[in-house]
Structure 1
Amino acid sequence: MTVAERLNEDMKQAMRDKNKEKLSVIRMIKASLQNELIRTGEAELSEDEELSILSRELKQRKDSLQEFESAGRDDLAQKLEFEISIVQQYLPKQLTSEELEQIIKQTITEVNATSKKDMGRVMSAIMPKVKGRADGSLINKIVQKHLN
């Protein structure tokens, strides 16, 4: 079942349950997917494209969450935490820090990276391997730690 199909099923269920908050988040995700379809002009999105959009939605919400928390807006932060939990339901299972560490070490060895100058090569090799399963900023920090 594709992400779009799951979203449709969950949207119907949220309507039946009269869960307005969940319905709102699902509609936002569906709108992002639909906008990408219109932009590309294709009949449907590939799984990778869907994951990219979901990852982008998650990142936007996490960035906003940090801003709201630093501004002391707990009411908005709670709403975003709920939205983040809904978006994460449609992403693949996230990698543990140990799994991520192993993939990064392996990739650094594969591309023969030795210094921070090789950061771009390492990141471009890692990202396809962990697409949608790990946060890019976390990957960046771990790679930097290993390239020192």
Structure 2
Amino acid sequence: MTLKDRIQEALKGALKRRQSVEVSTLRLLLSEIRYAEIAQQKPADDSKVLDVITKEAKRRRESIDAFRKGNRGDLVAQEEAELAVLMSYLPKQASREEVVTAARQAIEAVGAKGQADKGKVMAQLMPQLKGKADGKEVSDVVSELLATR
């Protein structure tokens, strides 16, 4: 069963349980997956579906930050509920320590000497952490580690 099929089955279950937040989030997610399929003119495989889920989760995190700055607690709660639904379909997220360890290994493998080599390190690191860590967090960790070199 593909990830897209699991999402469709979860939508059916959420409809039966009358879980409005889950239903709306999964419908939006399936819509984005269909849009991605149309854009690439072929059915989405699991890695493409993961990319879509990751993109949607990132949007929710950005919205949560914006709503917190605007003192909109009601919208923060809504976005956090949607983010929780999306996170249930992503692989287990890597801890900061795991990201730091992977970043150190990538820095050693590339032989990075400073901030100028950040792009090389990120190119080596992101395929390993795809879907497991937020790109901004990985970028921050790499910047911190390269600053000490």
Same fold (TM over 0.5): yes
Deviations 1:89-136 (A, max 9, x none): 010010111111111100010111110000111111111110000011
In the alignment, what sits opposite 1:129?
128
CA distance, structure 2, for counterparts of residue 40 and residue 62 of structure 1: 26
Name stretches of at least 5 consecutive residues in structure 2 with no aligned partner: none
- 1:52 Cα deviation after fit: 1.1
In the alignment, what sits opposite 2:39?
39
In the alignment, what sits opposite 2:82?
83
In the alignment, what sits opposite 2:29?
29
In the alignment, what sits opposite 1:93?
92
In the alignment, what sits opposite 1:3?
3
Identity %: 30
CA distance, structure 2, for counterparts of residue 58 and residue 9 of structure 1: 20
- 1:61 Cα deviation after fit: 0.8
Amino acid at match of 1:6: R
CA distance, structure 2, for counterparts of residue 54 and residue 126 of structure 1: 20
Amino acid at match of 1:99: E
- 1:48 Cα deviation after fit: 1.8
In the alignment, what sits opposite 1:66?
65
The RMSD of aligned alpha carbons is 0.8
What TM-score comes out, normalization by structure 1 length?
0.96
What TM-score comes out, normalization by structure 2 length?
0.96
Amino acid at match of 1:3: L
Name stretches of at least 5 consecutive residues in structure 1 with no aligned partner: none
CA distance, structure 2, for counterparts of residue 2 and residue 73 of structure 1: 37
- 1:59 Cα deviation after fit: 0.5
Q: How many residues align?
A: 147
| Dislocated runs of 4+, deviation >4 Å | none
CA distance, structure 1, for counterparts of residue 90 and residue 144 of structure 2: 27
- 1:38 Cα deviation after fit: 0.7
Greater mean deviation of Cα atoms: 44-53 or 33-42: 44-53
SS in 1 for 2:80: helix
